[in-house]
Chains A and B, each alone.
Chain A
Amino acid sequence: LAKTTQPISMDSYEGQEVNITCSHNNIATNDYITWYQQFPSQGPRFIIQGYKTKVTNEVASLFIPADRKSSTLSLPRVSLSDTAVYYCLVPNQGGKLIFGQGTELSVKP
C-alpha cells in the first residue's frame, strides 16, 4: 500500500500559481497518481491523474519525476473558489481510494 504524505495546509493569494507536492516513496510499478479536490460539505472531485512526466488538463498540471516517488499538483492563477482540500492518492490493490488528511488550500484576496 503506497502511503502518501502532503502538507497539511497552504496559503496563497489570488492570481498566484500554487504547487502542492506529495511524496509516495513506495509507489508500485502499476500505480497511477490521482488528485482530488473537496469543497466543504461536498464529495471529492477528480482533478487529474498521471503515471509519469507531465499531464495537463483545463484545471491543473501534474508533474511526476522519473523515479515517481513524488508528484506536484500545479494550479495556475488560483482564485478564491479554489479554496478547498486537495488530496493526493495512489490507489491500492482493489482500486479503492484511501484518503489522507489532504492539503487545505486557503486562497486570500
Chain B
Amino acid sequence: EPEVTQTPSHQVTQMGQEVILRCVPISNHLYFYWYRQILGQKVEFLVSFYNNEISEKSEIFDDQFSVERPDGSNFTLKIRSTKLEDSAMYFCASSPLHRGELNYGYTFGSGTRLTVV
C-alpha cells in the first residue's frame, strides 16, 4: 500500500533555530497538506498546497512557516526561528482528488515529533 513518508521521525531543536520537516507524498497525488497536533490536543490544519502554490492556510501558518516542493517528490515545511509552543507532531498528508469527488481519502504520514527546547 502506498505510503506518505516523513523524515525525521523526531527532531530536537533549540529555540530560535530553523527546522525543515520533510515529506514524500504518494507519487500520483496532487494535493498536499501539513497538519500539526500538540500533545493531547486536536489535529490542526496548517496549509494546503496544489499546483506548486499554497491553496489555503490557517491562522497558525504565519510568516514563521513556509512550504516548498523543491522537486517532483519532496514536500517540505520550514519553521523559522522556532518557539517553545511549536513543539508538536507535524503530519504531512496527500490526496489524489479534490473535495466533491468520489474516493478522495487523504493519506497521512507517521509524523515528525518536533521538540523545541
Closest Cβ–Cβ distance, residue A5 to chain B (whole Å): 14
Q: Are A91 and B109 in contact (CB under 8 A)?
A: no
**Contacting chain B: which of A15-23, A76-84, A92-100?**
A92-100
- Which residues from A are CB-within-8-Å of B75? none
Majority-rule SS of A interface residues: loop
Interface size class of A (residues with CB under 8 A): 20 to 34
The dominant DSSP class at the B interface is strand
Show 18 residue pairs from A and B whose CB-CB distance is below 8 angstroms, ordered by the A residue: A30-B99, A30-B100, A41-B111, A42-B110, A42-B111, A43-B91, A44-B91, A44-B108, A46-B105, A49-B105, A94-B48, A94-B55, A95-B48, A96-B33, A96-B45, A99-B44, A101-B42, A102-B42
Which A positions have Cβ atoms within 8 angstroms of B? 30, 32, 34, 36, 38, 41-46, 49, 87, 91-102
What are the nearest 8 A-B pairs in CB distance? A43-B108, A95-B99, A46-B105, A99-B43, A43-B91, A30-B100, A94-B56, A95-B98
